[in-house]
Chains A and B, each alone.
Chain A
């Protein structure tokens, strides 16, 4: 399943959906929002937006790349949009394979590709402004000067 969703991601349900009798391994990657701090300010939450339907088709393409490279029987990538509070899941990847090696490798590949090609953007909403991650554009000038 490849999906872009507005609400909380049910990680347990995604894992349960990957269980198969022909697979001996399910690898799960959960990306969660991390709260950074600098000079007395802190990130209050993150906000994600996507270019749809391009983002949806890129998730499906990543799934096809994985199935061409590894012996996997199930791949799911779910990304959340909108406001995501600290510690919550913003992306969940679940891969089932007969063997653990391909499951680990494919799940790692999936998150790296998500970060490379899927048109999704996040901005950090700080207590004193916001910053678009990757562009360093926003209303929070001190952060905009960080490397």
Chain B
């Protein structure tokens, strides 16, 4: 089980800000994404704009996640 956080427009689309998600051991972020979309189909069109963080640091599709990790779904940042 990992924790998935949604922010900004992604939280709107997911209709939640946080959820638990069961993922296979050693799954990569690229493999986790379809599992997120299974639960939150309205996120799918945003895929190309999104970044991801694992435990508070930017991560890429080939990076793996472990049980207990916090995966954040990050729309294009717009601070300032």
Flag if A119 contacts B78 (CB, 8 Å): no
- Quick one: given A51-B72, A119-B53, are A132 and B80 in contact (CB under 8 Å)? no
Partner of B78, one of A53, A117, A132, A138: A132
Decide if A135 touches B77 in the complex (CB within 8 Å): no
Of A35-43, A67-75, A95-103, A108-116, the one contacting chain B is A108-116
- Contact among A48, A54, A132, A135 with B79 in the assembled complex (CB-CB below 8 Å): A48
- Cβ contact within 8 Å between B72 and A54: yes
Whether A118 and B77, one on each chain, are in contact in the complex, defined by CB atoms closer than 8 angstroms, is: yes
Our pick among A111, A116, A135 for the contact of B8 (Cβ within 8 Å) is A135
B22 in the interface (beta carbon within 8 A): no
Q: Are B9 and A137 in contact (CB under 8 A)?
A: yes
Binds B, one of A5-13, A19-27, A120-128: A120-128
Q: Which chain A residues have a beta carbon within 8 Å of chain B's beta carbons?
A: 31, 48-51, 53-55, 57, 79, 90-91, 111, 114-123, 132-135, 137-138
Chain B residue contacts of A91, Cβ below 8 A: 79-80
Shortest beta-carbon distance, A12 to chain B, in Å?
21
Determine whether the beta carbon of A134 is less than 8 Å from that of B7: no
